[in-house]
Amino acid sequence: MFITNAYAQAAAGADAGNPLLSMLPLLLMFAVLYFVMIRPQMKRQKETRAMLEALSKGDEVATAGGLLGKITQMGDTYLHIEIASGVEVVVQRNAVIQVLPKGTMK
Task: Give the number of other Cβ atoms within 10 Å of residue 91's Cβ.
Answer: 19
* Residues 49, 73 share a domain: no
**Residue 9, pLDDT above cutoff 90:** no
* Residues 96, 67 share a domain: yes
d(CA 100, CA 106): 12
d(CA 21, CA 81): 58
In a domain, residue 106? The reply is yes
Each residue of 16-43: b (16+ CB within 10 Å) or e?
eeeeeeeeeeeeeeeeeeeeeeeeeeee
pLDDT of residue 10: 66
In a domain, residue 8? The reply is no
Q: What is the pLDDT of residues 66-83, one digit of tens each?
A: 999 999 999 999 999 999
Q: Which domain holds residue 94?
A: 57-106
pTM of the model: 0.68
